[in-house]
Chain A
Amino acid sequence: MTTQTSTQDARVQRVGYGLSVGAAVSIVLILAPSNDAVRLAKVTPIAALVLLAVAVLGGLAARTGKAALYLAAGGLALVAAVLQLVQFGQPTNWIGGNGSTAALLAGFGVGFIGLFYAARAPRNSE
């Protein structure tokens, strides 16, 4: 079912681009003052670097369709999210964020891992 497959691939690519743009746009939050009303998530310089790397990897994955790049983007975001969740509120906090930083990174993490699964899963209909 070539048409179905190409439709599905296009859908994966579209969501891949969407998540990449989302990660890139989230970097802007680094400029937000610590006023809760406007700062949707705490983005520190290190978190911004992680988001940039995730956005680039995710964008490349969407462009090339390579599942391994989705895995790299998702894995990086997920590792950073877990690290942030564990270190939040502790004396050592490498990323320097809080629970919102962890949640944001986790979102992109599960998103790109999901796309990895979608891009590599066997297609029974073919």
Chain B
Amino acid sequence: MSTASATQQATPDSADEIDHGRGARIGLAFVRITIGRLWIQSAGWKTPPAFGRDSETGLFKYSTYAVDYPVFGPFSWLMENVVLPNFTLFGYLTLLVEASLGAFLLVGLATRFWAIVGMGQTVAIALSVLNGPNEFPWTYYLLFAAHVVILVTAAGRTAGLDGVLRPRWLQSSGRPARLLMKLS
């Protein structure tokens, strides 16, 4: 071992402090909670039972953008032939998914799973509205990026339920616990 590498091991590298320090942990928790709040607010304007279909507003209006201002042909076809004819079911699914995203990301439970769900939901929204009027595409690129950060850093382990529950799941030999270890 060279003198230089021995010195490196003895004193913590400043890059490590940036990667794992208190500031980084607070920052990750801040990103997760902020994105959770975003989905919570988003669940507020998905109003059942019509979800805007009767007045051509709200979720219905933005969903029709996928057909009127297509981004990706097969997705537009899916929206026109599957989603819009069954809009009430789709509306309730959207409300449930977005409310759950908000709830679970807020408290950091099964965070990596919900980060993947958030990435999927972001892609679905982007494919619907990206070419719509008054849309800023980078909103969706940044939202996707934020979920990637939450996923790869397992952000629920910092100031979240995952950090508290993982030691318990680790002690359990049950299948749900093993699954939750992967999802957190």
Which residues of chain A have a CB within 8 Å of any CB of chain B?
A: 4, 8, 11-12, 15, 18-19, 22, 36, 39-42, 81, 85, 88-90, 98-104, 106-111, 114-115, 117-118, 121, 123-125
Are B107 and A40 touching (Cβ within 8 A)?
Answer: no
Question: Is B70 located at the chain interface by the 8 A CB criterion?
Answer: no
User: Of A103, A107, A111, which is within 8 A of B98 by CB?
Assistant: A103
Of all chain B residues, the one with the shortest Cβ separation from A104 is B40
- Complex Cα–Cα for A105 and B48 (A): 18
If A36-B45, A118-B165 touch, whether A103 touches B171 (CB-CB below 8 Å) is no
User: Of B36, B41, B159, B171, which is within 8 A of A107 by CB?
Assistant: B36
Chain B residues within 8 Å of A118, by CB: 161, 164-165, 168
Chain B residues within 8 Å of A99, by CB: 43-47, 95, 98-99
Question: Is B167 located at the chain interface by the 8 A CB criterion?
Answer: yes
Interface of A is mostly: helix
Are B160 and A100 touching (Cβ within 8 A)?
Answer: no
If A40-B41, A103-B40 touch, whether A11 touches B99 (CB-CB below 8 Å) is no
- Complex Cα–Cα for A107 and B161 (A): 11
Of all chain B residues, the one with the shortest Cβ separation from A42 is B44
If A99-B46, A108-B107 touch, whether A15 touches B37 (CB-CB below 8 Å) is no
If A103-B39, A103-B43 touch, whether A110 touches B103 (CB-CB below 8 Å) is yes
User: Of A8, A90, A111, which is within 8 A of B107 by CB?
Assistant: A111
Are A100 and B103 touching (Cβ within 8 A)?
Answer: no
Chain B residues within 8 Å of A81, by CB: 103
Are A115 and B102 touching (Cβ within 8 A)?
Answer: no
- Complex Cα–Cα for A39 and B39 (A): 13
If A85-B99, A111-B107, A111-B109 touch, whether A41 touches B41 (CB-CB below 8 Å) is yes
Considering only residues 148-163 of chain B, those with a C-beta below 8 Å from chain A are: 159-161, 163
Most A Cβ at <10 Å: residue of B46, B98, B102: B102
